[in-house]
Amino acid sequence: MMKVPFIDLKREAKSIGGELISKTKEVLDSGNYISGNNVNKFEIEFAKYCGVSDAITVANGSDALRLIIQSLDIGPGDEVICPANSFIASAWTIIAAGATPVFCDVEEDFLLSVETISKCITKKTKAIMVVHLTGKLCEMSSLQRYCNHRNILIIEDSAQAIGATNKQGEKSGSFGIASGFSLHPLKNLAVYGDGGVITTNSQEVTRKIKLLRNHGLINRDECIVWGFNSRLDELQAAYGLLKLNYIEGWTEKYISIANRYSSELTDRITKPKTEEGCRDVFHNYVITVSPKKRNAIMHEMLSKGVETKIHYPIPLHLQKCAASLGYKKGDLPNTERLAESMISLPIYPSLSENEIDHVISSLNNIIKTSH
Ligand SMILES: Cc1ncc(COP(=O)(O)O)c(C=O)c1O
């Protein structure tokens, strides 16, 4: 029986293995392993790719978001609105900065909208963290209008959305005061360990984050604020730089697999919709089915060799760690219903046509025969 793993990172590493080995040797031979040429070049190229003036590398995507919040002087007593359907890091970064996350419901496309955030605004709201979940941009022009009017900052969580664009061709990472990207191995642009990047057009944010990521030091000996050690190392930056050459081709592959799923999977499930003229980059391809049947469908897919996942089964407001914030089941009905209905299908550039065929025929057969 054909097996389709949800992800297989070895395939990509193998496909560019020779180049990775020569980059590794270059860095080892340089004797410079932190804050060198590869970091500088990667930051310049990453900023160009996103269409912003600055990119600042950090140790991971969570730190990227936390450092953004801290650089904006958001902290105790302040509220940041964030979607309840996201990875835990989106909310943790707000907590880590000492501020309070206000969990917000999402639309059918899993994203925040003006309508959903407007229910969460209080006098304490300092920012919203829009999460471009699955690689689809939130509807940024209406959010920008709404927030600008009320002096609310927009922070983008672009961890899943490198290369996603709106109808005007503007990229993820170019809309908010600043945006955090993750380079975790599971992401569309990934390194071989942890890594993160912040993009911004604000020189002030860049200045503060460069200080904060390096202990608050202005030179070798003088420290002007309490900071962190959150730097990307030279090896990871060299891998990131190399992989920027591939990101457009890989993104097109994600999109072509998504297009096959969308046109060939049965209409008896709900499939993601891309708005005309936008580019969704499908970090995940998430379908929804009846909550009563979801677990059985996943189980049957596995029995046909197809591994699927849920992003995310426990909404953030119902996580144990968030208990002290006082939310309860029923508070965010859309998010809660989606958490019981969604299934993520395998999607990555090295998926073969046979594997894609197998995912499609397995799911179509399961839905046709038993559901
Ligand atoms: C939506 C979202 N935000 C933040 C993060 C945090 O990134 P990292 O794992 O690099 O800290 C991730 C990735 O795991 C993510 O998917």
From the CA of 126, how far away is ligand 1's center (Å)?
A: 22
pTM metric for this prediction: 0.98
Of 58, 62, 179, the residue with max ligand 1 atoms within 8 A of its CB, to mutate for a pocket test, comes to: 62
At residue 344, what are phi and psi to the nearest 5 degrees? -95, 130
Tell me the per-residue pLDDT of 179-202, one tens digit each, with 9 for 90 and over. 999 999 999 999 999 999 999 999
Side chain identity, residue 132: H
The string of DSSP letters for 314-347 reads S-GGGSGGGGGG---TTSSHHHHHHHHHEEEEP-
Number of C-beta neighbours around residue 110 at 10 A: 25
Query: CA 281 to CA 279: how far, in whole Å?
Result: 6
Nearest CA among 193, 174, 188 for reference residue 258: 188
Query: CA 110 to CA 133: how far, in whole Å?
Result: 7
Q: Is 231 within 8 Å of 32 (Cβ atoms)?
A: no
From the CA of 187, how far away is ligand 1's center (Å)?
A: 9
Q: From the alpha carbon of 60, which atom of ligand 1 is closest?
A: 10
Instruction: Give the residue whose CA is nearest to atom 10 of ligand 1.
Output: 61
Q: From the alpha carbon of 283, which atom of ligand 1 is closest?
A: 16
User: Does the beta carbon of 182 sit less than 6 angstroms from any atom of ligand 1?
Assistant: yes
Consecutive 10-residue averages of pLDDT for the chain (371 residues):
96 96 98 96 98 98 98 98 97 97 97 97 98 98 98 98 98 98 98 98 98 96 96 98 98 98 98 97 98 97 98 98 97 98 98 98 94 60
List CB contacts of 73: < 8 A, sequence separation 6 or more.
none
Centroid of chain to Cα 117 = 19
User: Does the beta carbon of 236 sit less than 6 angstroms from any atom of ligand 1?
Assistant: no
Helical spans, DSSP H, in 72-198: 88-96, 114-118, 140-149
* pLDDT the model gives residue 371: 60
Query: CA 358 to CA 28: how far, in whole Å?
Result: 43
DSSP summary character for residue 135: G
At residue 78, what are phi and psi to the nearest 5 degrees? -100, 150
From the CA of 130, how far away is ligand 1's center (Å)?
A: 13
Q: From the alpha carbon of 86, which atom of ligand 1 is closest?
A: 1
Strand segments (E) across the chain:
54-58, 79-83, 100-104, 125-131, 153-157, 178-182, 196-200, 285-288, 342-345
User: Does the beta carbon of 284 sit less than 6 angstroms from any atom of ligand 1?
Assistant: no
Q: From the alpha carbon of 131, which atom of ligand 1 is closest?
A: 1
User: Does the beta carbon of 157 sit less than 6 angstroms from any atom of ligand 1?
Assistant: yes
Q: From the alpha carbon of 182, which atom of ligand 1 is closest?
A: 10
* pLDDT the model gives residue 153: 98
Q: Is 52 within 8 Å of 199 (Cβ atoms)?
A: yes
- Domains delineated in the chain: 9-244 (3.40.640.10), 247-370 (3.90.1150.10)
Number of C-beta neighbours around residue 115 at 10 A: 11
* pLDDT the model gives residue 209: 98
Number of C-beta neighbours around residue 291 at 10 A: 14
Nearest CA among 128, 181, 171 for reference residue 153: 128
Of 69, 181, 182, 286, the residue with max ligand 1 atoms within 8 A of its CB, to mutate for a pocket test, comes to: 182
Strand segments (E) across 23-137:
54-58, 79-83, 100-104, 125-131
Q: Which two tokens stand for residue 341?
A: 């209905």
From the CA of 47, how far away is ligand 1's center (Å)?
A: 19
Query: CA 356 to CA 346: how far, in whole Å?
Result: 9
From the CA of 316, how far away is ligand 1's center (Å)?
A: 14
Q: Which residue has the tokens 């060939």?
A: 264
User: Does the beta carbon of 61 sit less than 6 angstroms from any atom of ligand 1?
Assistant: yes
Nearest CA among 268, 262, 258 for reference residue 369: 268
Q: Is 74 within 8 Å of 80 (Cβ atoms)?
A: yes
DSSP summary character for residue 165: B
User: Does the beta carbon of 93 sit less than 6 angstroms from any atom of ligand 1?
Assistant: no
Nearest CA among 100, 167, 156 for reference residue 133: 156
* pLDDT the model gives residue 370: 75
